[in-house]
Amino acid sequence: MTKRNFDVWAPRAERVQLILGDDRSPGAIDGTGSGPHTAHPMVVGDDGWWRAGPDAPAWRPGLDYGYLLDGAGPYPDPRSRRQPEGVHGLSRTDDPADYAWHDDQWRGSPIDHAEIYELHVGTFTPEGTLDAAASRLDHLRSIGVTHVELLPVNGFNGTHNWGYDGVAWFTVHEGYGGPDAYRRFVDACHASGLAVIQDVVYNHLGPSGNYLPLFGPYLNDASSNTWGTSVNLDGEGSSEVRRFIIDDALMWLGDYHVDGLRLDAVHALVDGGPVHLLAELAAAVDELSASTGIRRALIAESDLNDPVMFQHRDEGYGLDGQWSDDFHHAVHVNLTGETTGYYADFDSVGALAKVLTRGFFHDGTWSSFRGRVHGIELDRAQTAPWRLVVASQNHDQIGNRAVGDRLTATLSPDDLAIAAALTLLGPFTPMLFMGEEWAASTPWQFFTSHPEPELGRATAEGRIAEFAKMGWDESVVPDPQDPETFERSKLDWSEIDDPEHPEHRAMLSVYRALAAIRATLPPGEELRLSDVHVDFSEEARWLVLERPPIVLAVNLSDAPLDLATIAPRFGAPLFSSHEHLRGEPLPPVLASLAPHSVAVSRL
């Protein structure tokens, strides 16, 4: 994991020179190896790995370096730990051992009882840095968060980006504070009792600064996905490419003390080898967990609705869990009434009921958006629902809308409270998106800062083409390259205490109350999908969810409902969104369920 040498895998080069930047001009590039640089021939082995020759200086922290490949370059190290001058500049050596960690007593946080909070470093705070994010950890603890999930932080071209166009997988974006700031952030999280999950992208590389194909067969030109050429996982040279990915994962989990990884769009990983990359990765992470005594988690973002992701490696990949977008779609449609595009199949209370009891809506059923049968049915008696990570809002489902609008722009506080209760107290692992806990009014839009004008134009045009499938108004799509698009997407923390808009503080109190109830629930491993029961009425638009040891009664209609009739097992109320949002005391017995409200009691 730790890199303390200049070795580089470059089987496509016939000659490689190590370039070291002069201390007087760090990071300067003139493409010749002369002037502010010194060039040192490297020696190749039979495995395609080049190693520094006898005349090269010894590796030490703080050196700027790169490689000339057959006289061209210099190019940064594919395994670079720092890119202080950006993804096109020289790399800089970094030694993790130079940081003094303070988390010796940290033993991890159980993933089966997690409450995950997804945040983007650049827009979470006005400063947009890891150090600034660390100053908000007490707030996260106050709403019951156990795991902080960071959107990708690795190097990308430009100053701001969602992070999914990264090319320097082993680095931390300098604008966020670089490697030391990342270590400080993880250290601070552990000191606060919070685990860290890092979002990583192994299915494609960004369009700018991707020099890996010059070094070796990192890409599979015969296959592509939505974002570009696929990564080479099963062709010639793929063993080293797979090792590259696994070493990157182990770097985050080992060198950076991260507690888990969210694996982006694993359905885009094309792997026809005898052992799927995900199974190989899970085995390596299990070995690391066993050696350190701290359980590291792997969570897949998968569009496949296939339990193979978290089934034991005897029959599956052995990951800990996966995202379930079906939950989001069912909640979204039942609260907003929006039925365009991929929302179409979820237009019923029954769809929400099915998701809550079966995990997936599409489990071998016809998907109108895909135009085919989709998904595999879960074994309810065997599946622990915590293995599905769910959200009523997340970066994809907000940021990939035409104007990046949150549910706040559409729903009343009453309906937002329903979404919060279903997410936090349902049977699955809940994930919140930054700011939803106070009904943030700021959008979260798609933003880029590509220095190349042609790339910026292509990105904007591609977004507009995607929105045509959803029936959204293309004319309102903000320009991703406009700096104001990025600025608009930053959270406004002052909303929490804004006396003119008390609804923000009220919503925050809802999340805190629900989190307090969630904290009393037993670990998720004690629950199976077969333990979850739902009654509902399509016509009267109500739903009663029994997920032991609590019951949720949800009124999606405009009329009050007799609680004893729809939920005879409902006991003394623990929470009522209607009373809570209006500052009314919770009565000892709740007879009626107000329109657009949710109430909770113990079974």
User: Could you tell me the domains of the chain?
Assistant: 8-98 (2.60.40.10), 114-205+234-443+491-497 (3.20.20.80), 446-488 (no CATH), 528-602 (2.60.40)
Rounded Cα–Cα distance for residues 308 and 282 (Å) = 13
Q: What is the pLDDT of residue 201?
A: 97
Q: How far apart are the first and last CA of the chain?
A: 49
Residue-wise pLDDT for 434-453, tens only, equals 999 999 999 999 999 998 88
Q: Give the model's confidence band at 28: pLDDT under 50 very low, under 70 low, under 90 confident, else very high.
A: very low
Type and span of the H or E element at 597: strand 597-602
Which tops the pLDDT comparison, 507 or 467?
Answer: 507
Q: Give the pLDDT band (50/70/90) at residue 362.
A: very high
Give the three-state DSSP class for 136.
coil
Res. 585: pLDDT tops 50: yes
Distance CA 571, CA 507 (A): 24
In this prediction, residue 27 has a pLDDT band, given cuts at 50, 70 and 90, of very low
Count of CB atoms situated within 10 Å of the CB of 206: 24
List pLDDT tens digits, range 558-571. Answer: 999 999 999 999 99
* pLDDT (average), residues 112-119: 97
Three-state DSSP state, 293: coil
* Residue 3 near residue 81 (C-beta atoms within 8 A): yes
pLDDT of residue 23: 38
Region 392-411: what's the mean pLDDT?
A: 95
State the pLDDT at residue 453: 82
For 468, the 3-state DSSP assignment is helix
Q: For residue 32, what pLDDT is reported?
A: 42
| pLDDT above 90 coverage of the chain, percent | 88
Q: Which two tokens stand for residue 597?
A: 């409200």
**pLDDT for res 470:** 63
**Confidence band of 472 (pLDDT split at 50, 70, 90):** low
The sign of the CA dihedral 204, 207, 211, 214 is positive
* Angular region, 229: left φ>0, alpha ψ -120 to 50, beta rest: beta
Highest mean pLDDT among 45-59, 375-389, 474-488: 375-389
Q: Cα–Cα distance between 465 and 448 in angstroms, integer?
A: 17
CA pair distance 169, 156, nearest whole angstrom: 9
Average pLDDT on 242-263 reads 98
SS3 349: helix
Is the pLDDT at 226 greater than 80, yes or no?
Answer: no
pLDDT at residue 35 greater than cutoff 80: no
Mean per-residue pLDDT for 344-369?
A: 97
Residues whose CB falls within 8 Å of the CB of residue 59, separated by 6 or more in sequence, listed in order:
4, 5, 6, 52, 93
What's the whole-number mean pLDDT along residues 415-428? Answer: 98
3-class SS shares of the chain: helix, strand, coil, % to 5: 35, 20, 50
Question: Tell me, what's the pLDDT at 22?
Answer: 59
- Going by their DSSP bridges, the two strands 228-231 and 219-225 should be labelled as antiparallel
Dihedrals φ, ψ of 36, to 5°?
A: -75, 0
Q: Positive or negative CA dihedral for 257, 259, 265, 271?
A: positive
- pLDDT score of 31 more than 70: no
Region 306-331: mean pLDDT is 96
Distance CA 223, CA 219 (A): 9
pLDDT grade for 458, boundaries at 50, 70 and 90: confident
Using 50, 70 and 90 to split pLDDT, how confident is the model at 160? very high
How many CB atoms sit inside 10 A of residue 517's CB?
18
* CB under 8 A, 24+ apart: contacts of 62-65: 62/92, 62/93, 63/20, 63/21, 63/92, 63/93, 64/20, 64/21, 64/26, 64/27, 64/90, 64/91, 64/92, 65/6, 65/18, 65/19, 65/20, 65/21, 65/90, 65/91, 65/92, 65/93
User: Using 50, 70 and 90 to split pLDDT, how confident is the model at 4?
Assistant: confident
The mean predicted confidence, pLDDT, of the chain is 93
Answer yes or no: is pLDDT of 471 > 80.
no
Contact (Cβ atoms closer than 8 angstroms) between residue 327 and residue 390? yes
- Span 136-144, average pLDDT: 98
How many residues belong to the chain?
603
Asked if 154 contacts 182 with a C-beta cutoff of 8 angstroms, the reply is: no
Q: What percent of the chain has pLDDT over 70?
A: 94
Average pLDDT over residues 17-21: 93
Task: Report how far apart, in Å, the C-alpha atoms of 355 and of each of 82, 106, 299, 349 are.
Answer: 43, 35, 19, 10
Residues known to be catalytic: 264, 301
pLDDT at 465: 64
CA distance 52 to 486: 42
Report whether pLDDT(240) > 90. yes
What's the pLDDT score for residue 67? 97
Averaged pLDDT for residues 515-528: 95
Whose tokens are 């890996």? That residue is: 212
Q: At what angle do helices 413-425 and 325-336 cross, to 10 degrees?
A: 160
Which amino acid does the sequence have at 423? T
Q: List 372's β-bridge partners, or say none.
A: 367
Q: Which of 128-132, 259-263, 451-455 has the lowest mean pLDDT?
A: 451-455
